[in-house]
Structure 1
Amino acid sequence: MSVNQSAAGTAFCYPYVIGWTGEAETHRLVWVPAAGGMRLSYADPHRGDYTQGVLRLRQKQTRAGRPDFTTVNTRRQWRCMAKGLCQVCARSAVDADTGRIWWLLSSDYSGAGDGYTNAPPTCRACIPEAIAQCSHLRRHAAVFTVGGCVPLGVRGDVFLPYLPPVVPCSVNRVMRFDDEDLPHCIARELLMRLVDVQPVDLVEANAG
């Protein structure tokens, strides 16, 4: 969780996972040879650009500028998902007594089918704050504990393969890791399939 000071000296805490206006980076994208064809790359490749076979959006980790509650920072979102960390405070969201993961989702989450989400876990202690900071969750919050989670795919932007210059053809597309267009994608968020999802009463969760 990031702490900023207002002009009056009051401390405000912002969720770890959200994006900041000063974190944007601009990089030229190119096509490079890969097994079975071509894949998207940065013109100045760095180690760690690709994770699970997909190119990730590059962003700074400075939390500079203004917090933008409409976006998440790709690296921080990915870290929380992969390590079971709370999206608000970045501490473990795993319940010490049960080993289950606390997860705050919208009440329209059904868990049917793959039951995937792009929202990282939220530890029990941060659930009230997360609800207070999000207008949608204030109306539609639902709390669950989860037995486990498995990476399912990504949400990202897909580009027309092989065309110079690199041209986007779809934005915020949900893609599984076996999607044939994955090499043509720049990923913004990791998606997780939730396993053994059990609802928890909000009053009970907040009491903790």
Structure 2
Amino acid sequence: MSLVTKVSETGFRYPYVIGWTGEAQQHRLQWKQRQDGETLAYVDRRPSDYALGVLRLRQGQKMTGRPDFKTVNTRRQWRCMDKRLCQVCASSAVDRETGRIWWLLSSSGEEAGDGFTNAPPTCRDCIPEAISQCSHLRLNAAVFTVGAYYPYAVRGDVFLPYLPPVVPFKRNALVRLTDYEITHCVARELVVRLQDVQPAHQEDGMAWAA
């Protein structure tokens, strides 16, 4: 069991990527002038605010307060995507024998296949637990191995340039890294494009449902 995950009194393991109520932070935004136009920045800027040229949501990392299964922690989600880590336990999601990456997706959406997803990988050992703990996945789980992937977009809040960045005019929008709006966005999740996606079968040596 990874030391970076938390466990409830009943033994339930909270997924590494989910947000916690005590991690929310308030920070003032401002527009910063660049040669190619206006870009969002925090008033108290830090080098770690940006990744892939995108301003990321600031949050704490101590997993305090209550778990919030409707949100993810931006930095932890990004870290799993960057380092091919399991979204449940934060261990490597790369298969030691094949070098392919284990990925658990929902078969009810377009992400199940050679598409894009904001869900980080799930290691082979955690797949049964993840399915058993999620009512949606119990009905719609699709397990794959992935040969490669690359950053494609973000999900985040988009603000109108030249107006005070107080209230976004788009919330949780999908913004591609090549879109004009990317510098007007506060990213909440990294979205990746999957390549060489192959279905994984139960006869590979395990049952997906616990």
Report the alpha carbon displacement of residue 200 of structure 1 after superposing the two structures with TM: 1.2
After TM superposition, the score normalised by the length of structure 2 is: 0.91
After TM superposition, the score normalised by the length of structure 1 is: 0.92
Kept in 2: contact 1:145–1:199 (CA 8 A): yes
| 1:121 to 2:124 alignment | no
Kept in 2: contact 1:159–1:184 (CA 8 A): yes
State how far apart, in whole Å, the 1-side matches of 2:83 and 2:96 are: 15
Residue of structure 2 equivalent to 1:30:
30
Deviations 1:127-179 (A, max 9, x none): 01111121110111010000000110101000011112533110111111110
Deviations 1:102-142 (A, max 9, x none): 00000134568960000000000000111112111011101
Query: Structure 1: which 5+ runs fail to align?
Result: none
Residue of structure 2 equivalent to 1:69:
69
Calculate percent identity across the aligned residue pairs. Answer: 64
Kept in 2: contact 1:29–1:42 (CA 8 A): yes
Aligned residues: 205
**Which AA in structure 1 matches 2:151?**
P
**Which AA in structure 1 matches 2:178?**
D
State how far apart, in whole Å, the 2-side matches of 1:20 and 1:202 are: 34
| 1:90 to 2:90 alignment | yes
Structure 1 segments of 4+ aligned residues over 6 angstroms from their partners: none
Query: Structure 2: which 5+ runs fail to align?
Result: none
Report the alpha carbon displacement of residue 75 of structure 1 after superposing the two structures with TM: 0.2
Report the alpha carbon displacement of residue 73 of structure 1 after superposing the two structures with TM: 0.3
Q: 1:199 to 1:90 in 2, by over 3 A?
A: same
Residue of structure 2 equivalent to 1:148:
148
State how far apart, in whole Å, the 2-side matches of 1:5 and 1:138 are: 22
Matches within 5 A, 1:8-19: 10-19=10-19
Report which stretch shifted further, 156-165 or 69-78: 156-165
State how far apart, in whole Å, the 2-side matches of 1:113 and 1:104 are: 11
| 1:3 to 2:6 alignment | yes
Q: 1:19 to 1:119 in 2, by over 3 A?
A: same
Q: 1:89 to 1:33 in 2, by over 3 A?
A: same
Q: Alpha carbon RMSD of aligned pairs, Å?
A: 1.9
Q: Which of the pair is proportionally richer in strand?
A: 1
State how far apart, in whole Å, the 2-side matches of 1:113 and 1:123 are: 18
Matches within 5 A, 1:1-208: 2-6=5-9, 10-110=10-110, 115-202=115-202, 204=204, 206-207=206-207
